[in-house]
Amino acid sequence: MPAIVIVGAQWGDEGKGKATDQLGESVDYCVRYQGGNNAGHTIVVDGEKYALHLLPSGILTPGCIPVIGNGVVIDAGVLLDEMKALADRGVDTSRLLISANAHLISSYHSTIDKVSERFLGKNKIGTTGRGIGPAYADKISRLGIRVGDLFDEKILRQKLEGALDQKNHLLVKVYNRRAIGVDDILIEFKGYAEALRPYVCDTSRVVNAALDAGQTVVFEGAQATLLDVDHGTYPFVTSSSATAGGACTGSGIPPNRIDRVVAVLKAYTTRVGEGPFPTEQHDAVGERLRETGGEFGTTTGRPRRCGWFDAVIGRYAARVNGVTDFVLTKLDVLTGLERVPVCVAYDVDGVRHDEMPMTQTDFHHATPVYEQLPGWSEDIRGARELADLPANARAYVRTLEDMVGRRISVVGVGPGRDESVVLHDLL
Ligand code: GDP
Ligand code: IMO
Ligand code: MG
């Protein structure tokens, strides 16, 4: 099973970082293929916490080669800071490979991200303010600057002039901001060119060659299914293809190379930012999930909105990603509840929907149809085999598995690298 894609099944922060890290030393390459430093992947190794934003989680595994694919948008300043912070903690970052075709985020992207959110007012998306949307918009508008452009100053200046001409009109005339000078950005980018040069290569070629040689490659997704720009709860989404299909376009490997798609699914649901969330709990119940689960954003520190597990979303994630295995995370957070409500379908204006409603309007009107599952009170963080889990926790896992229609292969019972019950090996 050499090529395995890991995606988020819900609205992000399911524990993709931990799931990727857990695959361990048998992974030869770990490839990020979309998103940017809007992601926050927390990994706990021997009690030490690492928060990664742009670097693939494989960076923490000696021997694994981390790759930033063409589909990622890179804030070079953030990347270099992240590399330095890890190096200061003794992590070897010298193996990193960066695609020459990945697009760069510049300061004007984050400025536009923030001012356009302000202009949206109550219709804002609740973005991370990292310039992700404007950088992807430039890519699609063919106004983007790519990593490879850093190495040709003439072209870089030409492209920046083109991009800034348009941006400055927007900033000055619409948003009442100061214009940005080409030279300011050029100076910033020239510094990055030197620092990044050793890592830049044709990553599609490297990754395809690795697969040809029978090596194991993990494609690590950021964000998640319902934040995908096509398949998510548009417009309350991120601006990239966070579903499994994005692994191909975002890294330059063909679809027929993918052997396995693993979706990470939290035992309840969280969301950061605005947008519909049928099972959200606003009162003490949501507060309890947030406190027990430590549900505060890794990137922005914002409290995550919390609610019950939603099987409609699980089934949808299985379908659009072609999920072969689910990793169910944070089961330990549910310990101590007498009953655990699980959403099995939606009621939309009196009509039952077992699958995701077709329109945005229907999804906004969806109210959950709950089934109450019996809870458990025993501490499960020490569980390493299915038999170690109390009967009701086992039943919770099996019931969810039936509801989402694909096998649950790993169950997370704590944040630590070893705090899991493995039912089926993923590699
Ligand atoms: P990602 O963005 O999908 O990688 O997820 P985040 O790292 O943003 O959020 C998941 C959080 O849950 C992190 O703080 C993890 O350390 C933690 N975590 C992951 N799996 C488990 C688990 O099974 N139990 C508990 N209690 N925490 C977990
Ligand atoms: P990981 O990889 C949770 C959300 C933002 C906002 C929307 C658009 O850690 O799961 P953006 O800045 O991307 O334009 O914001 O997407 N969002 C995330 N929510 N986890 C993430 O990443 C997210 N990345 C973006 O909160 O609602
Ligand atoms: Mg996260």
Give the pLDDT confidence of 56-96 residue by residue, as tens digits. Answer: 999 999 999 999 999 999 999 999 999 999 999 999 999 99
The minimum-distance atom of ligand 2 relative to the CA of 224 is 10
Is the pLDDT at 36 greater than 70, yes or no? yes
- Reported confidence tier of residue 299, pLDDT bands at 50, 70, 90: confident
Is the pLDDT at 45 greater than 90, yes or no? yes
The minimum-distance atom of ligand 1 relative to the CA of 298 is 8
- Reported confidence tier of residue 50, pLDDT bands at 50, 70, 90: very high
**Cis peptide leading into residue 235 (ω within 30°):** yes
The minimum-distance atom of ligand 2 relative to the CA of 227 is 16
Check: CB of residue 304 under 8 Å from CB of residue 281.
no
Share of the chain above pLDDT 70, in %: 100
Q: Which residues pair with 52 in a beta bridge?
A: 41
The minimum-distance atom of ligand 1 relative to the CA of 333 is 26
The predicted structure's pLDDT at residue 118 = 95
| CA of 416, nearest ligand number | 1
Going from the Cα of 306 to the center of ligand 1, the distance in angstroms, rounded, reads: 14
Going from the Cα of 292 to the center of ligand 1, the distance in angstroms, rounded, reads: 12
The predicted structure's pLDDT at residue 298 = 87
**Strand intervals (E) in 239-338:** 260-266, 269-271, 305-307, 309-310, 325-329
Q: Is 99 in the pocket of ligand 2 (CB under 6 A)?
A: no
Q: Is 36 in the pocket of ligand 2 (CB under 6 A)?
A: no
The predicted structure's pLDDT at residue 146 = 98
| CA of 39, nearest ligand number | 2
The mean pLDDT of 336-341, rounded to a whole number, is 98
Residues with beta carbon inside 6 Å of ligand 1? 8, 12-18, 40-42, 44, 294, 298, 329-330, 332-333, 412-415
Which of 16, 238, 277 is the pocket-test mutation for ligand 2 (most atoms within 8 Å of CB)?
238
Going from the Cα of 117 to the center of ligand 1, the distance in angstroms, rounded, reads: 28
Q: Is 238 in the pocket of ligand 2 (CB under 6 A)?
A: yes
Check: CB of residue 224 under 8 Å from CB of residue 9.
yes
Two structure tokens written together for 21: 């890290």
Rounded to the nearest integer, the mean pLDDT of the chain is 97
Check: CB of residue 425 under 8 Å from CB of residue 344.
no
Rounded distance, CA 243 to CA 260, Å? Answer: 13
Is the pLDDT at 207 greater than 90, yes or no? yes
Going from the Cα of 67 to the center of ligand 1, the distance in angstroms, rounded, reads: 22
Q: Is 132 in the pocket of ligand 2 (CB under 6 A)?
A: yes
Give the pLDDT confidence of 351-378 residue by residue, as tens digits. Answer: 999 999 999 999 999 999 999 999 999 9
Give the pLDDT confidence of 215-234 residue by residue, as tens digits. Answer: 999 999 999 999 999 999 99
Is the pLDDT at 1 greater than 70, yes or no? no
Helical spans, DSSP H, in 25-97: 76-88
Is the pLDDT at 27 greater than 90, yes or no? yes
Give the pLDDT confidence of 92-107 residue by residue, as tens digits. Answer: 999 999 999 999 999 9
Neighbours of ion ligand 3 (CB under 5 A): 13, 40, 298
Take atom 10 of ligand 1 and give the residue whose Cα is closest: 15
Exposure of 61 in the CB half-sphere (CA atoms within 13 A): 25
Rounded distance, CA 65 to CA 56, Å? Answer: 9
Going from the Cα of 244 to the center of ligand 1, the distance in angstroms, rounded, reads: 20
Check: CB of residue 279 under 8 Å from CB of residue 177.
no
Is the pLDDT at 343 greater than 90, yes or no? yes
Q: What is the pTM of this model?
A: 0.98
Rounded distance, CA 270 to CA 327, Å? Answer: 16
- Reported confidence tier of residue 419, pLDDT bands at 50, 70, 90: very high
Q: Which helix (H) or strand (E) holds 313?
A: helix 311-321
| CA of 294, nearest ligand number | 1
CA dist 80 to 53, 55, 86, 134, 169, Å?
Answer: 11, 10, 10, 21, 31
Residue found under tokens 């949307």: 133
Give the pLDDT confidence of 366-417 residue by residue, as tens digits. Answer: 999 999 999 999 999 999 999 999 999 999 999 999 999 999 999 999 999 9
CA dist 195 to 76, 94, 137, 159, 160, Å?
Answer: 9, 12, 26, 21, 20
Q: What is the DSSP string of 77-146?
A: HHHHHHHHHHHHTT---TT-EEETTPEEP-HHHHHHHHHHHHHHGGG-----SSSHHHHHHHHHHT---B
Positions marked active-site: 13, 41
Check: CB of residue 149 under 8 Å from CB of residue 159.
yes
| CA of 277, nearest ligand number | 2
Going from the Cα of 114 to the center of ligand 1, the distance in angstroms, rounded, reads: 27
The mean pLDDT of 212-216, rounded to a whole number, is 97
Going from the Cα of 206 to the center of ligand 1, the distance in angstroms, rounded, reads: 30
Give the pLDDT confidence of 123-180 residue by residue, as tens digits. Answer: 999 999 999 999 999 999 999 999 999 999 999 999 999 999 999 999 999 989 999 9
Q: Which amino acid is at 11?
A: W
Of 349, 327, 339, 335, whose CA–CA distance to 404 is shortest?
A: 327
Which of 220, 225, 329, 381 is the pocket-test mutation for ligand 1 (most atoms within 8 Å of CB)?
329
The predicted structure's pLDDT at residue 300 = 87
Q: Is 306 in the pocket of ligand 2 (CB under 6 A)?
A: no
What's the maximum distance between 2 C-alpha atoms anywhere in the chain? Answer: 67
The mean pLDDT of 234-241, rounded to a whole number, is 98
